[in-house]
Chain A
Amino acid sequence: MSSRSRLASRAAIAVAAIVIAGCGNRPAASGQHLAATSAARPSLATVVGGAGGASWAIAELGGSSASHDNFWELFVRPAGAARWKLDTPPGVADNGGLVAADPGGRSLVTGFRPSQGLTFSPLAVTADDGASWSPGTPVSPGLANVPDALAAGPGGRLIALSLGGRAQLGTRPGAAWRTLTSEQALAAAPAGKACGLTGLTAAAFAADGSPLLAGACSHPGIAGIFALRGGSWQPTGPALPAAQAGRSVTVLGLATAGSRTTALLVAGTGPATSILAAWSTDGGSRWSLSPQYRAAAAALSVSFGTGGSAAIVLTGDHGVALAGPGNSWRPLPALPAGTAALAVGPAGRLDALAASGRRFSDWRLGPGSTAWSQAQVIHVAIPYGSSG
């Protein structure tokens, strides 16, 4: 071999060595994580009802959800009562979560979200403040992972937001569900196109009984609330102030109590997040808006109370409450540890409902008070290991 060819062969070997080295050269896993930047969606923990009837609280207790040891529990505070009691409907494992809709009076419709092998949502219905439960017509596919996935209207009518973005209507108790629309169909309709609908987040019935759906819009400055009128979906969301014109808006929650529909909206993301409430008493034709609340935090749970009141648990032990139309957002004292949801009571009374392990605690904040005081503790018999 000549020195020249030897040199060439060595060069080739060196190149080959580098190529071989490069084949497996990718950074080793370093355990670094990217911070999530998407807007947080509120959990299923919430409080519903209270409009002259019982209040219902949903909170997650128990252990790890990965090992199916988390159990969602339903608590009821009957009308006029001061204390909560455990009232989780029996017969179904609720590791996937509970959602509830308040038809008024002493009734409640509760849906069990899918979990493990269960892909549809059984419903449990009570007409006596939870003293007894009976099965409703199951929702298939199962309920979506949003607190307002189930809405109750007059005459026993129900709306269910299902996984995959399907909205279904139950016309009466025991009747089969029929499809109202789907996220894709609504996004393709003129109303959805105008908002750039990216997902459905809440359902309700308007005061006139027409179905309402709400979602997240990609087009800035538009609140995506739609009403089914005359066989087609019409945009009925409130017009937002100029300050929100450049921000995308998501409907966090939607509820109708009596003749008033209340919507909780979040505009923007990150430090520029603003929270607003909107009220309508005519099915969405006209809305009044609350002042915006600048929240550099994400909403963990939303709750509605009587008279258009609402409360939101924010990250970092923060919370805000709103007494109703014409009022401003009230920042609350630092929430008790583990607060899952806030209950807005009459006369401005607030309950912070904390859940941890087997323990459910009710902390109260009286009108004018600046500190939470513990009012009640419930120890729940968690059926650990029963869903494994």
Chain B
Amino acid sequence: MPGMRSGLNLDNPVLAAAFRSALLHQGFAALLIFAVLALAWAAIREWRLGGAGGNLGSPARGLVVAGREPAWRMVLRVGFGIIWIFDGLLQAQPAMVVGLPSRVIQPTAAASPPWVRQLVNWAGTSWSYHPVQSATAAVWIQVGIGCWLLAARRGQWSRLAGLVSLGWGLVVWVFGESFGGIFAPGLTWLFGAPGAAGFYCVAGALIALPQRYWRAPWLGRGVLAALGLFFTGMAVLQAWPGRGFWQGRLHDRPGTLTGMIQSMSHTPQPGFLAGWVRGFGSFTAAHGFAVNLFAVVALALIGTTLLISAARPAVPTGHRQLLLVRLAVIGAVLLCLADWVLVEDFGIFGGLGTDPNSMIPMALVLVAGYLAVVPAAVRAPAAKTAGAMTAADAVPGPQVPVTAGTSGEPQLEAAEPDTAEPDTAEPDTAEPAPPAGWSRAWRGRLSPRRLAGAFGAADARTVAAIWALGVTIIGAFPLAAAAASRSADPIIAQAIAGSAATLNFQAPPFRLTDQYGRPVSLAGLHGKVVLLTFLDPVCTSDCPLIAQEFREADQVLGGNARNVALVAIVANPLYRAVAYTRAFDRQEHLTGLPNWHYLTGTLPQLQRVWHAYGITAQLTPGGGMIGHNDVAYVIDASGRTRTELDFNPGPGTTSTKSSFAVELSDAAERAMRQS
């Protein structure tokens, strides 16, 4: 995947400093938003209290909603809120700037089919073109979504948080996890299939459900049925012969599972944990069949139990009926935790962990499914015994209307004490019909007075949710802007070759011969900005890249390119004939570029120019190429040297070439303004 690599070291100090600076900058922006929101909220409340005799008015649609949130939803919302924040903090590792495409995305996609790799490559390339913006965006988007989920308990703000979580989860699942590897061979539950972000999406979708479905009896059963189907499928896949899971060792090599565990044990991590993982790896190597048999049986048992429980006509009401599903969920969670520790190695050690892997999210969805399927009537005694029930739990309220014909369990829903919110509290249905016309209604809703009133009437959690939305936007907006740009950030070039040096002196003159045999002099280019470099026409590495960067700079300059001359002077004392400059031009597709001049001359002529511009061109024995400086000068229209750029092109990836081109074109445009 050519676009993925930036070729930079993970700990590149320039990028690390820029990343830190961007994080701080956007962090201040987040704090500022918080301060402005808090002040505005307090001020409006003060003003409304003072001006309206203490009446804050009715809460706006979606800002304040009555009714308790069911336990399953709270588990998902809080659990995934914390995970998103944790993921955001993991994204703040300095190595993520360079490493995410090459160390995370690319290896994940390597085994996937070409169409997946192509799709993923697009995202990886986009990241490597704008590494600092992308890395910063990932931090703030994920922290923002996490805070938003934690802050917004109910109503449209909360549902919207679920939707955003679903959307960003999809982005991560598709581009970051290559669809969780489901199209790659070797798919297995043990290694985290179908990807952590897949569960983020499931959780986001469940959180985004309208409130009227919160206690729908099919919901929990549906979740458990889906999980049962998933576990059963994974058991079949795990048992499938010929995939290397039944053998601890295969032809004197580690089996598939043993190899995975052993590789995890070699990652940097606390000693005790490495010991556990190594021990389990040795055990698997010795008893591969037994380990896989256990995994297959456990997955199959959990899957079938969940399927059977979900397929029952009614939700189990008694403890005996409940026991089966409870055991299945407990077993599944324990299996998830064991896999998380012994196989996934907590998902964050060694290299660039972006999330705690799939087992914790999977366990959260399992628990949420269990809580959704088990009626509060059954849970309540235990909760009360533990003293966990609050006064609000006991508040009786109207029943949630459940159509007996569709659910078949109206009495169960009626028995729930925490169905406190009346149907009228549902924001989707509570809003009266707009008086006249859709647009007029929305104009009314969005009027400053109405918005201010709603904002003032909102509770602190809603204000926090609005702030979290702001944090998410802080991340998303620069990311979208960066993705829309076709040119790479010049900071990549600076990270490779350092910053440009500002100069101001008369450029040494030269008069040489171009690739068509015509004389060209610096004086003859007066009135144009000259981008000057020195290239060896038979160079195998840097010079072709520099030429491509010059050509790309010409494209970036667009209409301004007509005021710019791209000049290269031969930097090889032997291979300096016009035949070679022409061959080089053909090689680099420069023959059609009207402002491209590749100049050569006699050796004394060239040596004079090299000396004047500080160029050394040395022969290397033993089949090496000419050693010469990689440098570019920007000479303004009046013939003064304005900028010197170290033009060592680095690895020559698409992103580095684009970055150097942007840096060069920026310098040319500065010189135009200075002329």
Is B234 touching A21 in the complex (CB atoms < 8 A)? yes
Residue in contact with A116 in the complex, picked from B242, B243, B541, B619, CB distance below 8 Å: B541
Q: Which of A21, A24, A118, A388 has the most CB of B within 10 A?
A: A24
> Is A93 an interface position by the 8 A CB rule?
yes
B580 interface contact, C-beta 8 A:
yes
B626 touches A29 (CB 8 A): no
Is A38 among interface residues, defined by CB-CB distance under 8 A? Answer: no
- Indicate if A370 sits at the interface (CB-CB under 8 A): no
**Which of chain A's residues have a CB closer than 8 A to the CB of B540?**
68, 93, 95-96, 115-118, 387
What are the interface flags for B295-312 relative to A under an 8 Å C-beta threshold, 1 for contact and 0 otherwise? Answer: 000000001000100010
B624/A120 in contact, CB under 8 A: no
B244 within 8 A of A: yes
Q: Establish whether residues A91 and B626, one from each chain, have CB atoms under 8 Å apart when the complex forms.
A: yes
A138–B242 alpha-carbon span in the complex (Å): 54
Rounded to whole angstroms, the CA-CA distance of A25 and B236 in the bound complex is: 10
B182 touches A29 (CB 8 A): no
With A120-B587, A383-B623 as known contacts, state yes or no: A24 contacts B256, CB within 8 Å: no
**Cβ-closest chain B residue relative to A31:** B253
Q: In this assembly, does B625 line the interface, its C-beta being within 8 Å of a C-beta of chain A?
A: yes
Contacts of B243 in A (CB 8 A): 25, 27-28
Contacts of B225 in A (CB 8 A): 13
CB < 8 Å A-B pair total: 170
Most buried by B among A16, A30, A117, A120: A117
Q: For chain A residues 372-388, which have a beta carbon within 8 Å of chain B?
A: 380-383, 386-388
Q: In angstroms, how far is the closest chain A Cβ from the Cβ of B459?
A: 43
Q: Provided the pairs A93-B624, A381-B621, A386-B625 are in contact, do residues A17 and B543 lie with their beta carbons within 8 angstroms? A: no
Q: Is B455 an interface residue (CB 8 A)?
A: no
CA distance A381 to B230 in the complex (A): 62
Give which listed residue, A14, A92, A98, A133, contacts B232 with CB less than 8 A. Answer: A14
B63 is an interface residue with CB less than 8 A from chain A: no
> How far is A19 from B111 in the complex, measured between Cα atoms in Å?
21
- Listed stretches B168-176, B433-441, B569-577; interface member: B569-577
Q: Which residues of chain B from 227 to 253 have a CB within 8 Å of any chain A CB?
A: 228-230, 232-237, 240, 242-244, 250-251, 253
Interface residues of A in 127-153 (CB under 8 A from B): 133-135, 137-138, 140
Stretch at the interface among B45-53, B114-122, B184-192: B184-192
B621 to chain A: which residues have CB within 8 Å? 88, 90, 381, 383
- List residues of B (108-151) whose CB comes within 8 Å of A's CBs: 111
Contact A120-B233, Cβ < 8 Å, known A26-B185, A71-B622, A93-B624: no
Contact B574 A27 (CB under 8 A): no
User: CB of A9 within 8 A of chain B?
Assistant: yes
Q: Does B526 sit within 8 A of A, measured CB to CB?
A: no
List of B residues within 8 angstroms of A176 by Cβ: 579
Contact residue among A21, A71, A94, A138 (Cβ-Cβ distance under 8 Å from B236): A21
- Beta-carbon contacts under 8 Å, B176-214 to A: 181-187, 193
Known contacts A17-B236, A24-B183, A28-B244; decide if A386 and B111 are in contact (CB<8 Å): no
A20-B233, A91-B574, A140-B586 given; A25·B240 CB < 8 A: yes
Q: Does A112 contact B (CB under 8 A)?
A: yes
**CB-nearest residue of chain A relative to B180?**
A24
Contact, CB under 8 Å: B623 / A93? yes
What 8 pairs across the A-B complex have the smallest Cβ distances?
A117-B544, A24-B187, A383-B624, A21-B236, A20-B233, A93-B625, A26-B185, A91-B574
What are 7 A-B pairs at a CB distance below 8 A?
A: A23-B183, A68-B540, A68-B541, A93-B540, A116-B541, A117-B544, A117-B652
